[in-house]
Amino acid sequence: MLLLVLLTVITVAANARSTSVKQSSLSFFYVIPLGTNGGLDENNLSSYLLTSINNSIPNSAYISLDGGTIRHGIEIAIKQQSLPLNTDKEIFIREQIKAYLISHGHLDHITGFLINTPNDKSGKFIIGLNQTIKIIRDHYFNNQAWADFGSTGLKTYDYQILDPLSTIPAPIVNTDLDVRIFRLCHTCPFLSSAFLVSRRNQPSASILYLGDTGPDDVEKIIQVDQTTYSPRYLSQLWKEMAPLVAANQLKAIFIEVSYPNGRPDHLLFGHLTPNWLLKELNVLKSYHSMENVKIIVTHIKPENGAREKIIEQLSRGDALHFNFVFPQQGQAIWL
Ligand SMILES: *[C@@H]1O[C@H](CO)[C@@H](O)[C@H](O)[C@H]1NC(C)=O
Ligand SMILES: *[C@@H]1O[C@H](CO)[C@@H](O)[C@H](O)[C@H]1NC(C)=O
Ligand SMILES: *[C@@H]1O[C@H](CO)[C@@H](O)[C@H](O)[C@H]1NC(C)=O
Ligand SMILES: [Zn+2]
Ligand SMILES: [Zn+2]
């Protein structure tokens, strides 16, 4: 009996440490992490390519969830054979990335995209919250920081502003995917956002990608009159996700853990630790078991030993109720 328990624990712990998710005939989405870190290394910043899968073959039309690292990530993905070895990265960026969904305006989520704009093909959409689009328009595409590649300038891109209060998924042009947006708290007064991406005509499969976020119990919004309130955007999000989890529609949640446990709350800067992540995920789990939802841990700050500590802290106790995946740059994830 003890042996059995031990074996179970070892298996679960091994699952928790997995860094890639293999092909399955039941997969709906194909994800290529182009960058997985929460800062510093400019070759490895948050960016996840996503496409749908038909007949076990990933479709050629990708979207990019955030755009921290693009080109270098594609090089690694080709080396890892997550993309065909004969892929021309120039053509891939121009032709196969159909839209950029940007969670918020911070540079670690957008630099790779910005640097590659001069060679990009026109007719693509930059998708996000009103506030994020405004940051891109006013602070990057302003002919000072960078040329205006947006709709008021060179017109390489159009802006697709999503309304967080709308419950109707918006189509992502040139793909078979739809998207909804949700607000997240991250370094008040600026918001971050989460994208719920679903397959059009096949609403039984979705993934949820969260940009940077702090925990509900810590995040506060300071109003114009200097009073504060807690919007509890994550609680609202979990409430909306519960029916999808119950219906087995939600395949994965991409969510950040920037720091190991022990980091004081006043130094979180709008980020999560393993304990805070577990506290949040337990809210969702209170509605329904999460055993069929992969939790893809993003945005680990590349500080000495942080990754190892976070993996360890998410492989015991409460964490065993969740199916954690630690993505590696260039290694495909089948969902
Ligand atoms: C990117 O960052 C992850 C997480 O720190 C690390 O495991 C991986 O080795 C890095 N990729 C490369 C190619 O160095
Ligand atoms: C994949 O299959 C779905 C459902 O049959 C269809 O609606 C969609 O257009 C297909 N996508 C591609 C890119 O062929
Ligand atoms: C975006 O924000 C601007 C300025 O706050 C506002 O005028 C505009 O109506 C907003 N647009 C949408 C689609 O929410
Ligand atoms: Zn970030
Ligand atoms: Zn950020």
Q: Could you tell me the sign of the dihedral formed by the alpha carbons of 77, 79, 82, 88, in that order?
A: positive
* Tens-place pLDDT, residues 292-313: 999 999 999 999 999 999 999 9
| Ligand 1 surroundings by CB, under 6 angstroms | 36-37, 44, 76, 300, 302, 307, 328-329
Decide if 11 is inside a domain: no
DSSP state of 163: P
Place of tokens 């997240």: 184
Decide if 3 is inside a domain: no
50: β partners? 31, 63
Token reading at 15: 């699952």
Question: Residue 307: enclosing H or E segment and its boundaries?
Answer: helix 306-313
pTM value? 0.92
Q: How confident is the model at residue 20 (pLDDT cuts 50, 70, 90)?
A: low
Q: How confident is the model at residue 17 (pLDDT cuts 50, 70, 90)?
A: very low
Q: What separation in Å is there between the alpha carbon of 202 and the centre of ligand 5?
A: 32
- How many independent structural domains does the chain possess? 1
Decide if 7 is inside a domain: no
Q: What is the CATH number of the domain that holds 110?
A: 3.60.15.10
Instruction: State which of 51, 52, 98 you would mutate to test the pocket of ligand 2, scoring each by most atoms of that ligand within 8 A of its C-beta.
Output: 52
Q: What separation in Å is there between the alpha carbon of 199 and the centre of ligand 2?
A: 9
Decide if 5 is inside a domain: no
Decide if 194 is inside a domain: yes
Q: What separation in Å is there between the alpha carbon of 258 and the centre of ligand 3?
A: 31
Decide if 1 is inside a domain: no
Decide if 8 is inside a domain: no
Shortest-distance atom of ligand 1 to CA 19: 7
Shortest-distance atom of ligand 2 to CA 200: 7
Domain that holds residue 135: 19-334
* Tens-place pLDDT, residues 152-177: 999 999 999 999 999 999 999 999 99
Q: What separation in Å is there between the alpha carbon of 67 and the centre of ligand 5?
A: 12
Token reading at 177: 């995917």
Decide if 13 is inside a domain: no
